[in-house]
Structure 1
Amino acid sequence: MYTPHAFAEHDLAGLDWLVARDPFATLVTCGADGLPVVSHLPVLYARDGGRILIEGHWARPNPQAAHAGPALLLVHGPHHYISPGWYADKEDAARVPTWNYAVAHLAGILQPLHEEAALASIVARLGERFEAQVGGQWRYDHDNPRERSQLRGIVGFRFEPDRVELKFKLNQNHPVANVEGAIAGLGQLPGEAAAGVAALMADRLARPRD
């Protein structure tokens, strides 16, 4: 990922925030024909210092479920169009439009999981992670043979990245007045995307600059 110095994020707390905000990730591997194979799926995330563990599962017919080896996981953050009309120096500097966003790329080794206990654990923890968000009460019941039999329809995975790239592109390469103008412009727009990018920009603006 092309990441100019001004946009590079080195604190893994940024990754924690991204995954907590949107745990629906993009998993990319390389197929036998050399072409990319891509899946979009919810993931479980855990971090202990610099060690990161990501778990999830595919439907068994998914071609990616047969993959073991190098993989790339993309975690998506908020993003939004930025109008040059919001900048204080828009005329003097002949500013042009851009797009602000936050994203993470995690590269590492993907390990498929077939053991019933591992699959049951992943399904149960995914339910615990997301069911409460919708006010539901579903819980995986391993003692129910009908639920347990459905584990045969999935393949789990464990992914431990050895390289993490965090890019928070938030006008850090602009004068403070331009950043403040863009935050104000986004603040006039509806929707979570504009509010999310504005909040990230305000947070980065409050940090000491290099």
Structure 2
Amino acid sequence: MTLYLPRAFDERDLSRLDALAVEHPFATLVTVVDDEPFVSHVPLLYSRDGNRVELRGHVARANPQWRGGGRALAVLHGPHGYVSPAWYPDKLEQARVPTWNYVVAHLSGALNTFDDEASLAQLVGELSERHEAAVGSDWRFNPGVDAERVQLRGIVGFRLVVDRLALKAKLNQNHPPRNREAVAARLEALDDSARGVARWMRAVNCIEGA
């Protein structure tokens, strides 16, 4: 699958991909099963060593997606929000129209699955450690407890080594600086998602903070 990616929105800084994966780890996983697109929504563990990017996660064993093998596409959805043409200082002379600002990454590669107990226990342990901390809790998967270990039979893990990636940051780069500054300021006055867009706009467009 190919992402429509105009040059102005093609972000090549992999540190920004790192940030997106940390902030938005809940991904859309797309494969082809029986000649049809098949989609799951899963939290992912992301790692990068230089240009090598790897994703790990799991699906329910009852989910047929893991049986298909082949290539997979993982989509990381970043912050997004509506942009009103009324916010642009040059709205009248340029006849500006509405748009939507957003950040998204498409990461694809071969999908390799595993279901050995040790690897699944490590995966679940890492996922719980990552997300428990994010919500201020301290639950930990304990493979030494039979009642917890047996739950591993209900899942299948997967690993995706990315061989093709695209990071699209559509953040008014094709507008003059005063438009970008005005949009970022208006978004900062809205909800958390809109403020997330504004933070990315300031980082990518090198706009000073409000």
TMscore range, shorter length: over 0.9
CA deviations over 1:98-138 (Å, ceiling 9, x no partner): 00000000010100111111111111111111112222221
2:196 maps to 196
| TM-score for both structures, normalised by structure 2 | 0.94
RMSD: 1.1
Deviates more, 1:167-176 or 1:179-188: 179-188
* CA distance in 1 between partners of 2:206 and 2:142 (Å): 48
1:170 maps to 171
Letter in 1 for 2:116: E
Instruction: Answer yes or no: is the 8 Å Cα contact 1:80–1:100 preserved in 2.
Output: yes
2:101 maps to 100
Q: Among all aligned residue pairs of Structure 1 and Structure 2, give the percentage whose two residues are the same amino acid.
A: 53
Matched, 1:114 2:115: yes
Q: Per the alignment, in what secondary structure is the counterpart of residue 137 of structure 1? A: coil
* CA distance in 2 between partners of 1:136 and 1:184 (Å): 34
5 Å matches for 1:34-73? 34-73=35-74
Instruction: Answer yes or no: is the 8 Å Cα contact 2:107–2:166 preserved in 1.
Output: yes
CA deviations over 1:33-67 (Å, ceiling 9, x no partner): x1110000111111110111111111110111212
Aligned-residue offset at 1:201? 1.2
Deviates more, 1:194-203 or 1:153-162: 194-203
Letter in 2 for 1:197: V
5 Å matches for 1:1-210? 1-32=3-34, 34-189=35-190, 191-206=191-206
Gaps of 5+ in 1: none
Q: Per the alignment, in what secondary structure is the counterpart of residue 16 of structure 2? A: helix
Instruction: Answer yes or no: is the 8 Å Cα contact 2:189–2:195 preserved in 1.
Output: no
CA deviations over 1:173-207 (Å, ceiling 9, x no partner): 01111111211221232x11111111111222227
* CA distance in 1 between partners of 2:180 and 2:138 (Å): 44
Instruction: Answer yes or no: is the 8 Å Cα contact 1:44–1:55 preserved in 2.
Output: yes
| TM-score for both structures, normalised by structure 1 | 0.94
Letter in 1 for 2:119: A
Gaps of 5+ in 2: none
Letter in 2 for 1:194: A
Q: Alignment length, in residue pairs?
A: 205
Q: Per the alignment, in what secondary structure is the counterpart of residue 9 of structure 1? A: coil
Q: Per the alignment, in what secondary structure is the counterpart of residue 3 of structure 1? A: coil
